[in-house]
Amino acid sequence: MYRKQEGTPKFLTYLKVIITDNQSVMSKKSLEKCTNHDDCPVRNVLARFGDKWSLLIIKLLGRGGVMRFNELHKAIDDISQKMLTVTLRTLEADGLVSRTVFPEVPPRVEYAITPLGESLIPHIEGLAKWAHENMGEIMRRRGGVGEIARTGGSVSLS
C-alpha cells in the first residue's frame, strides 16, 4: 500500500509547474497518477533503473554491441555474478536487453542492447554529463570531497 510521504504535495505542485516533455506540459490527470507508484510511468521506470547496475550495463552494451556474460562481468569487476544475472534478467524482462542462447557445448549466451534500450542511451549520457558537471558542487555540499574516490567503480557511464 502506498503511504504518502512528507513533502509529496509540494513536490507534485512543483512538477505541475516545471515538467515538460517535447514542448508539452504534463497533464494534470497523468500527474495525479504519480501518487500511485504502479500507475506512474516515471516512478515505475526510475524504480527499475534506480539500482546500482542497470544503467551501467545498458551503457556498456550500447558501447560494446554484443557481449557475453563473462565480458560484462570483467568490465564491471565489482559486481557479483548473482547480481549481474539478476540485473540482466530484469533488463531482458523490460525489453531493454536481448539474450541469445546458442546450442553449443558448453552453451554460449550473448547479450545485446535492443532498440528500446538504445533509445535510453542518450538520456543516460545526458545524466552522466550532468553528474560530471555537478559532482564537485554536490560533493562540496555534502562535505565529503574524498567520497568520489571511495565510491568510484572500474567503469563509468561517461
Residues 31 and 72 in one domain: no
Domain membership of residue 120 as a residue range: 51-158
Same structural domain, 42 and 68: no
In a domain, residue 1? The reply is no
Whether residue 28 sits in one domain with residue 91: no
- Name the nearest CA neighbour of 85 among 113, 65, 64, 57: 57
The CATH number of the domain holding residue 151 is 1.10.10.10
State the helix-helix crossing angle for 54-64 and 115-142, rounded to 10 degrees.
Answer: 130
In 3D, which of 83, 40, 63 has the Cα closest to residue 125?
Answer: 63
Q: Tell me: the pLDDT tens digits for 95-128? A: 999 999 999 998 899 999 999 999 999 998 998 8
Tell me if 32 sits within 8 A of 4, measured CB to CB: no
Q: What is the spatial distance between Cα 29 and Cα 6, in angstroms, rounded to a whole number?
A: 22
Q: What SS3 state is found at 102?
A: strand
Let me know whether 78 and 125 are in one domain.
yes
**Domain co-membership, 70 together with 128:** yes
Q: Looking at residue 112, what is its pLDDT?
A: 97
In angstroms, the CA 54 to CA 87 distance is 6
pTM beyond 0.85, yes or no: no
Give the mean pLDDT of the chain. 77
> What mean pLDDT comes out for the span 128-132?
91
For the stretch 30-67, pLDDT in tens is 555 556 666 788 888 888 777 889 999 999 999 878 99
> Is residue 121 assigned to a domain?
yes
